[in-house]
Amino acid sequence: MSDVETAAGGVRVGIVPAADGKRRVQVCAGTACVFAGSLKIFEAFEREIAAAGLADQVEVAIIGCHGLCSQGPLAVISGQETYYPKLKAKHVERIVKEHLVGGTIVDDLLYVEPGSGERIACWHDIPFYAQQTRIALRDVGVIHPERIEEYVARGGYAAARTVVTEKTPEWVIDEVLASGIRGRGGAGFPTGQKWKFAYSSVSDQKYLICNGDEGDPGAFMDASIMDGDPHAVIEGMIIGSYAIGARDGYIYVRAEYPLAVKRLRLAIAQAEQHGYLGDDMFGSDWSFHLKIKEGAGAFVCGEETALMASIEGRRGMPRSRPPFPAVSGLWGKPTNINNVETYANIPWIITHGAAAYAALGTEKSRGTKAFSLAGKLVNGGLAEVPIGSTIREMVYGVGGGIKDGRQFKAVQLGGPSGGCVPAALIDTPIDYESLAATGAIMGSGGMVVADDQTCMVDLARYFLQFTQNESCGKCVPCRIGTKRMLEILEAITAGQGEDGDIERLQKLAATIKRTSLCGLGQTAPNPVLTTIRYFRDEYEAHIYDGACPARACSALITYHIDPESCTGCMLCAKKCPVGAISGERKQTHVIDIEVCTKCDTCRQVCRFGAVERLTGDEVAAVSVAARRPA
């Protein structure tokens, strides 16, 4: 199935046929799979296929992120599109001999659906994929990201050619406006309106910028698009350049994404060689030149004015607005900035029409949205669904539920600038307006799922620490205000909280949100405010009871071995790195709490559930004599 088709569950894509009618083995070479060893899997397939005498019949190719990152390294084989996850090099010989030579699928290497235990051969039938609707990700994990001919074979650059040779800038802007697409970088501003502003600005020079400075912890949507389907971003930028009248552009991507940088550079060179980029594109009189600017990893450079300062060679610090970039941006010229995912949607919108895109999503939030699913989920990875899908559908449908059968507690949406939505609001639609009502934001699409072992106070502290470290320091509310908030949170999680700390956090948060210069400071307090709003009882337990209900804050927990459960197997004593556990074989062991560093090793290795983490009044209930060696 090589064409985009509408199926139950939405738009899905198939494997790309190999050259000369060969069968094809596709090995995921997205960042996560590469780190997991997928390139060794690729080499093993090439070696075993050659040894089996199939080199003239079977091609081995790489693809970008296939999506289900928790199952990597993985490979997909053409025909029935058989999906082999969690591969090791030793598995490859069996797949080649039994599947490629013998024609029999290797059942014991197939994907196993959590819960049901069902083995699934075709990746389209795996619930994680079946419940998605892929537009921005339509070719990610499908085509070879370093071969322009594969992108072109799937209709790539046809939309750009049509726009540049047949349409007017006004037509393009009207089509994008009619689609209802909003910026996927976080703010959700209507993309067509943004293009219209830049188009209306009169200047001898305009610039178009792609913001690939994805910096949210746990977010990897833009990285996966850039290293899995770089030509979609370039084509979207070509269309945008023609619409606003910009003949020069930049892709701003952080240097920590070396795979994305490498494949973007190659894609730009290929597009120029084919006449799709540069002077007189597609035989027309339109020209657009594109460069890559590598960022140094500053989170604040995701803010558009700080990003432009970085491109200009200055320190990445935001400036006040107006003037807005559409009037005075890069080097004082009219500039339009959108993020990676926004541009990746544009060719599809032009090809299929604004109405087709607007038919997806909700009335005020059209289309689809890509999310990175991280945290305590069974299925962690990259997914795209219609906007308006609920948190429940994402967590339990696409995400497969919570690991180890634990309880869903909350989801952090929108990264460090977002907020925590509790389990009680699990049926909240994921759209801009509904999330704003909860105190969270859509953001760029990061979703970090927390289970019942997650301390929400500590989670708020983690995200605030991130934004405090990433503050550029230009304005006092962000530089000093977030520092004071962080100090209070650190005291609370260390068991040193005081009466009135919650109110002080709320007061500081209100001031920081109201007076900070840019979006980083204005949204930094969101994780704190939402955790206070929905989990105030946890803050109060830390402050007034000296207890961490989730048993996660090390300063508020004590390790104890339950004498009723301990079998004296001695494994915990052998594994303890500081020798804090003593006891004879087949006798109850005890932990010296004066020596214990609370590393949690003993609890993790105990096979009988004898090691407990006690907090608050539970500690007092266990006598000192029972917890210390004689």
Question: Over the stretch 255-287, which tens digit does the pLDDT of each residue have?
Answer: 999 999 999 999 999 999 999 999 999 999 999
DSSP 311-362: HTTS-------SSPTTTS-GGGS-EEEEEHHHHHHHHHHHHH-HHHHHTSB-
Which band of pLDDT confidence, cut at 50, 70 and 90, is reported for residue 1?
A: very low
Does position 157 have pLDDT exceeding 70, yes or no?
A: yes
Quote the tokens at residue 545: 């009871």
pLDDT of residue 114: 86
**216 or 166, which is more confident:** 166
Count of CB atoms within 10 A of residue 56's CB?
A: 10
Q: What is the pLDDT of residue 13?
A: 44
Is pLDDT of 8 > 50?
A: no
With beta carbons less than 8 A apart as the criterion, state whether 137 and 370 touch. yes
Evaluated on CA atoms 346, 347, 349, 350, the torsion sign reads positive
pLDDT score, position 20: 66
Please list the alpha-helical segments (H only) found in 29-184.
Answer: 31-35, 38-51, 89-94, 127-130, 148-153, 158-166, 169-179
The answer on pLDDT for 237 being more than 90 is yes
pTM over 0.85: yes
Q: What is the pLDDT of residue 2?
A: 32
pLDDT at 17: 57
- Is the pLDDT reported for residue 504 higher than 80? yes
Structure tokens at 13: 């894509």
Rounded to 5°, the CA angle 462-463-464 comes to 95
pLDDT band at 16 (very low <50, low <70, confident <90, very high): low
Burial label, 172 (beta-carbon count in 10 A; 0-12, 13-18, 19+): buried
Q: pLDDT band for position 116 (50/70/90)? A: confident
Helical spans, DSSP H, in 371-455: 391-392, 432-438
Q: How far is CA 317 from the centre of its chain?
A: 25
b/e for 128-154, b at 16 or more Cβ within 10 A? bbbbbbbbbbbbbbbbbbbbbebbbeb
CA distance 54 to 100: 9
Specify the pLDDT at position 75: 97
What is the pLDDT at residue 80? 84
Distant-in-sequence, close-in-space partners of 236: CB < 8 Å, separation ≥ 6: 342, 343, 344, 345, 346, 347
pLDDT of 618 reads 87
Q: Is the pLDDT of residue 607 over 50?
A: yes
Per-residue pLDDT, averaged over 334-359, amounts to: 97
Residue 469: HSE in the Cβ half-sphere, 13 Å Cα cutoff: 11
Measured CA to CA, the distance from residue 352 to residue 543 in angstroms comes to 56
> CA 210 → CA 239, 312, 339, 569, distances in Å?
13, 15, 5, 58
pLDDT averaged over the chain?
93
Average pLDDT over residues 2-24: 51
Identify the band that residue 529 occupies on the pLDDT scale cut at 50, 70 and 90: very high
CB atoms within 10 A of CB 5: 10
pLDDT tens-digit series, residues 195-212: 999 999 999 999 999 999
**Helix, strand, coil % over all residues of the chain, rounded to 5:** 45, 15, 40
Percent of the chain with pLDDT over 70: 96
What domains lie within the chain, and their CATH numbers? 5-126 (3.40.30.10), 148-357 (3.40.50.11540), 368-451 (3.10.20.600), 456-544 (1.20.1440.230), 554-627 (3.30.70.20)
